[in-house]
Structure 1
């Protein structure tokens, strides 16, 4: 049985948040209305730039192990919610993972199409390494389109021969932008991913691995954790990626959260038990990877 908090949230949803028919301005306005929340007292934010890529170092007031790092790639359908808008999410991750969070303020589409966002993610990782942060002390984490960018970034870094981080965590990640199925849940429509994917990719092939990780080679990567809601349309892509990973003998775990829709991790800020439990499991995975 879903929690009372989730049932209350679900009852308030009207299925209008992620309509494939929304134009860019409408989609941005809807997304931006969900973000830009105030931060708690004691949270620190330091904005930095590395070779033209902007990022923020975010530390919650409860942080006790600042040498642990998460490189966070935010959601927002590639087109909305800049770094400022997702500071609250970075703060939440810093608190729940007891880690310093490097929030990538990647350039948004369609003004900056692929591979702009991907390049920004990889540059921020390079910045951390050049500052002396060991690769083994860094985990990649992202939600929604950011969850897809986690895998795309790992692919690119692997292909370039870079030292890879300790792990990658994809929360309801967009793994297949080419899919235009009619699947939907109370919060999300798969056709919306395809529409916004076109904003991001432009004329590039939606089935290339750096855009849709489901089509990539899943070898020589750090351990991966995929978390997705049971009713989330992206679930089938996560399951397909898991099957590919097993065939490639790549360490990938998939966790399904019963009844949950797309993007449910964000409801942790409202105290929703299902979100908090998922983040606790993700923290356990992160901890175990940093110990190796």
Structure 2
């Protein structure tokens, strides 16, 4: 089945960004951040969801609060953008749609970004927020980590960090189009190069160069969870777009998790671009996928 006409909005947005970056190879980071903050433009505003801003453990956040949500259930959302662009604001609508479908609240973490604050600053912010939420009385088993692209990496790596700190682990983890491989070895980085409108090897190499400080290893499991021991990891949901270059990252994470005995689900949606849930509320393929996520979450 061909992708819906509505789903082309994301490909068009990405192609526009790519064209701008190609036309201006010296584009400065503030301009790039302004451009990527339009990520929300392909999603609708979720109905019956309120937002509020707060600082939690010194980290700015946006709460997404669907009417009728189970107040005990909380999704900790880390946004994508190669650890350097994107923001809580650019991803609040996507988080709101997912939280509403799942009957939970969400908190979107505006973690520190590279290159000003390279790895592991992002994990430190995620850890600080998680500890504060535990102190506020949220139970670990009622929380989940969720994120897309680089934020999908953080959704996985944060749990590894929580485990390292001896904290109780969240009940589940959701990763949308996770970018995990800091060595750029995935086969679909080449086989899907002509169909992915945004993510290329050159972009990943540039983002990884900002994210990893001098001396950091691209095979550190906290930066590249494809090297992690996932034994005892919470149940995991991964989705990827069929035509994206990072499809292989999700497939490899699913294989690694399954081999470690983790209850892992992989959803590959044909014809979809990187982080296709960013079209929440506007494309039928996304609405169907969000419902699959919600069914899985409520199990």
Same fold (TM over 0.5): yes
Counterpart of 1:14 in structure 2 is 15
User: CA–CA distance in 2 between the matches of 1:235 and 1:256?
Assistant: 8
- 2: CA distance between counterparts of 1:8 and 1:264? 10
1:170 Cα deviation after fit: 0.3
Aligned to 1:208: 220
Q: After alignment, is 66-75 or 147-156 more displaced? A: 66-75
Structure 1 residues 39 and 231 mapped into 2: Cα distance closer, same or farther (>3 Å)? closer
3-state DSSP of counterpart to 1:142 = strand
Preserved contact between residue 63 and residue 94 of structure 1 (Cα < 8 Å)? no
Deviates more, 1:40-49 or 1:191-200: 40-49
Q: In the alignment, which residue of structure 2 is the partner of 1:257?
A: 269
2:46 is equivalent to residue 34 of structure 1: no
Picking from 37, 41, 61, the partner of 1:55 is: 61
* Change over 3 Å in CA distance of 1:179–1:23 after alignment to 2: farther
Counterpart selection for 1:85 from 86, 90, 99: 90
1:176 aligns to 2:181 (yes or no): yes
Q: Cα distance 1:263–1:249, how it changes in 2: closer, same or farther (>3 A)?
A: same
Specify whether residues 11 and 105 from structure 1 end up closer, same or farther in structure 2 by C-alpha distance, changes over 3 A only.
closer
Shift of 1:42: 5.5
Instruction: Provide the alpha-carbon RMSD of the alignment.
Output: 2.5
Distance 1:84 1:33, change over 3 A: closer
Three-state SS of the structure 2 residue aligned to 1:125 is helix
Cα deviation digits, residues 126-155 of structure 1 (max 9, x gap): 111111111111111101110010111011
1:44 equivalent in alignment to 2:27 = no
Match of residue 233 from structure 1: 245
1:287 is aligned to: 298
Alignment counterpart, residue 275 of structure 1, candidates 280, 286, 289:
286
SS of 2:51's equivalent in the other structure is strand
Q: Which portions of structure 1, spanning 4 or more consecutive aligned residues, are displaced by more than 4 angstroms?
A: 18-23, 36-42, 180-183
Normalised to the residue count of structure 2, the TM-score between the two structures is: 0.86
Gaps of 5+ in 2: none
Tell me how far 1:233 sits from its aligned partner.
1.3
Task: Considering Cα pairs closer than 8 Å and 6+ residues apart, tell me whether 1 or 2 has the greater RCO.
Answer: 2
Q: Is the 8 A contact 2:177 2:241 kept in 1?
A: yes
Matched-pair contact (CA < 8 Å) for 1:230–1:259: yes
TM-score, normalised by the number of residues in structure 1 = 0.88
